[in-house]
Amino acid sequence: DTEVTQTPKHLVMGMTNKKSLKCEQHMGHRAMYWYKQKAKKPPELMFVYSYEKLSINESVPSRFSPECPNSSLLNLHLHALQPEDSALYLCASSQIAGPDTQYFGPGTRLTVL
């Protein structure tokens, strides 16, 4: 089974709201990732967690706050977002935080009004 799940599928929020995106995998993978994807562009890496510790933050604004409560779960907390943050947010996982195949979830379509 190579399934990564994400909730919610769609999210509409105002610029003053606080919301969270959730990601779960049960493949025993020890690396998890958040990506942001705009229309007709490739995914852009935001964060990498390795063994539940943040190992890479690609200079992401502080209004995005990741959290890894355990090896199967990954959250992305959102606060005071801007309309330009509207995008498809993708979670991925791989066995190790090294050269390895990444498996993506279905994504959360985020719209910021």
**C-alpha distances in Å from residue 52, one per residue of 13, 46, 56, 66:** 28, 16, 12, 11
How many of the chain's residues bind another protein (CB under 8 A)? 28
Closer by beta carbon to another protein, 45 or else 73: 45
Q: Is 83 in the site for another protein (CB under 8 A)?
A: no
CA–CA separation, 91 and 106 (whole Å): 8
Choose, by CB under 8 A, the member of 69, 100, 111, 113 that binds another protein.
Answer: 100
Nearest approach in angstroms of CB 45 to another protein is 6
In this complex, which beta carbon is closest to another protein, that of residue 13 or of residue 80? Answer: 13
